[in-house]
Amino acid sequence: MAKVGEEKLSAQQLIALEEKYGAHNYHPLDVVITRASGVWVWDVEGNRYLDFLAAYSAVNQGHCHPKIVEALKAQAERVTLTSRAFRNDQLGPLCQQLSELTGFAKFLPMNSGAEAVETAIKAARKWGYTVKGVPRDQAEIIAFEGNFHGRTTTIVGFSTEEQYREGFGPFTPGFRVVPYGDLEAVASAINQNTVAVLVEPIQGEGGIIVPPAGYLKGLRELTQKHGVLLVVDEIQSGLGRTGKLFAYEHEGIRPDIVIIGKALGGGCVPISGILADDEVMGVFRPGDHGSTFGGNPLACAVARVALKVLVEEGMIENSARLGDYFLERLRAIASPHVKEVRGKGLWIGVELVPEAGGARRFCESLQKEGLLCKETHVNTIRFAPPLVITRDELDWALERIAKVLTS
C-alpha cells in the first residue's frame, strides 16, 4: 500500500473507491482535491479552481494559511491531547483571547458545531430550571422554520427539512418551531416555560435567508421582556463571514449565548463551543457536560492563531468591502434564470427561478469554468469564498458567473 497521501490513483479510481467503500451520505461534485492554498484548490489532474464555498465557511482564513499551519505543526510536535482530566497550556489563553475579543466572560470548548448547539441547549435548559424556575422537564426552546443547527438526533428533531428527520425518530421533545422573520409568531409562542430562542442571524443552509431589518433587535427585546435567553448560532455566519466578527453586530445587540465553530479551527481542525456570561455558564458544574477532545491543545493552539489572523490581517473588513462590491456586481447581471440575489458580506445566495432547472447544473457549469460552489436547497447557489479573496480574484469569478448565468 502506498504511503497515505502518496497514492497515485486517477480521479475516476478515487471516486470509485469512495463510492464503493464510503457511506453515501453526501452527493459531492466530482472534483477530487489534492492540495490547496488561499482561495485556490487543485484537483488530482492538476486543474485549478477558485473555492467559492470555503468548506461551508470553515476556511474563512483561506486554505493552509501559513501562520495557522505553522501553529498546527509546532503544537503537533509538543502535545496534542491531554483530555480535560488534566490541564493544558493552550486552553486558558484561548478562552482569554475569545473573552477579550467578544466581551463574553466565558468559553466552553467542544469539537463539532452540532455539539456546540447541543451544549447551548443544555445550558439554556439548566438555566431555565435553576435560574428561571421552570418546573422539571418542562423547558421549551423556540426554533425556526428553515433552521439548520447540525445533525444530531435532538437537533434534526426540530428541523423542518423532511429528509433530515425521515427515519431518525423518535425525537427529543421541548422545541417549538415558528416561521423565521416573524416577530409576532415568536411573541405568541413564548410562555412561562420558554427558556430560549435559538436563531441563526442569517439562515445559511436554509438558502442565505436574510431576515427583515430589525428582526434580531426585536428578538432581543422580546426575549429580554419575557426572561428568555437569546441564543445565536454563529457557526456559519460568525467570524467575519458577513463583514462583522458576528452577524448579530449588524443590529447592535448582545445575545446571551453565542455558538461558534467552523472557522474557529482555521480550516485545520474541528473546534467549536459556546460563549456566555457567568449567569448562564455558571450552571455547569464539574461532571455536568464534557468531551474527550473538547479543549485539546492542538485545536486551541490553532484557534488562537486562526482568530489572530482573522482580525489582524483585515479579513473581516475585506469581507464587508468586497461583499458589498460582489453583491452589487451580481445584481447587475441580467439573467433570465435569477429570481433574487441576497446576502451580507462575502456570503451571498443567488436564488434561481423554478424554471431554471435547479442550482445543481449551474454549479456543475461553474466547476467547468474553474469555480467551485454548492447549491443549497434546490434553487439557490451559495457563494462564500475565503475572506482572503482579492478584488482581482473576485472579478475573475464574476466573469465566469456572468457567463454561466446568462448562457
- Does the footprint of ligand PLP cover residue 119 (CB under 6 A)? no
Q: Is 227 exposed, middle or buried (0-12, 13-18, 19+ CB in 10 A)?
A: middle
Can 51 be counted among the known catalytic residues? no
Can 262 be counted among the known catalytic residues? yes
Tracing cell 445559511 back to the chain, one arrives at 204
54-73 footprint of ligand PLP as x/- string (CB under 6 A) = --x-----------------
224-253 footprint of ligand PLP as x/- string (CB under 6 A) = ---------x-xx-----------------
Q: Which of 104, 148, 246, 326 is catalytic?
A: 148
Q: Which of 62, 113, 207, 294 binds ligand PLP (CB under 6 A)?
A: 113
According to DSSP, the β-strands at 140-144 and 175-178 are parallel
Query: Considering the complex, what minimum distance in angstroms separates the CB of residue 317 from ligand PLP?
Result: 23
- Does the footprint of ligand PLP cover residue 145 (CB under 6 A)? no
Segment interacting with ligand PLP, rule: CB under 6 A, options 84-92, 107-115, 224-232, 291-299: 107-115
Residue number, 174 or 204, with CB nearest to ligand PLP:
204
Tracing cell 448579530 back to the chain, one arrives at 248
Q: Which of 262, 344, 362, 374 is catalytic?
A: 262
What CA dihedral angle connects 167, 162, 209 and 194, to 10 degrees? Answer: -70
How many residues contact ligand PLP, by CB under 6 A? 14
Q: Which of 60, 75, 102, 112 binds ligand PLP (CB under 6 A)?
A: 112
Contacts 24+ apart (CB under 8 A), 6-13: 9/44, 10/44, 11/43, 11/44, 11/45
Residue number, 249 or 393, with CB nearest to ligand PLP:
249
Q: Which of 204, 297, 349, 386 binds ligand PLP (CB under 6 A)?
A: 204
- Does the footprint of ligand PLP cover residue 148 (CB under 6 A)? yes
- Does the footprint of ligand PLP cover residue 376 (CB under 6 A)? no
Q: Which of 54, 59, 98, 117 binds ligand PLP (CB under 6 A)?
A: 117
CA-closest candidate to residue 370, choices 29, 140, 90, 59: 29
- Does the footprint of ligand PLP cover residue 149 (CB under 6 A)? yes
Contacts to ligand PLP from residues 1-60, by CB under 6 A = 56
CA-closest candidate to residue 375, choices 342, 341, 350: 350
Backbone φ and ψ of 6, nearest 5° = -120, 10
- 293 C-beta neighbours (distance < 10 Å), count: 19
Cα–Cα dist 352/339, whole Å: 5
- Does the footprint of ligand PLP cover residue 200 (CB under 6 A)? yes
Buried b (16+ CB within 10 A) or exposed e, 11-49: eeebeeeeeeeeeeeeeebebbeeebebbbbebbeeeeb
Cell numbers placing 166? 425521515
- Does the footprint of ligand PLP cover residue 199 (CB under 6 A)? no
Q: Confirm if 106 and 96 have CB atoms less than 8 A apart.
A: no
Residue number, 117 or 268, with CB nearest to ligand PLP:
117
Can 126 be counted among the known catalytic residues? no
Q: Tell me, what amino acid is at 4?
A: V
The CA-CA-CA angle for residues 205, 99, 239, to 5°, reads 30
- Does the footprint of ligand PLP cover residue 266 (CB under 6 A)? no
Residue number, 160 or 193, with CB nearest to ligand PLP:
160
- Does the footprint of ligand PLP cover residue 269 (CB under 6 A)? no
Query: Considering the complex, what minimum distance in angstroms separates the CB of residue 88 from ligand PLP?
Result: 22
For ligand PLP, the binding residues (CB under 6 A) are 56, 112-114, 117, 148-150, 200, 204, 233, 235-236, 261
| Residues with catalytic function | 148, 233, 262
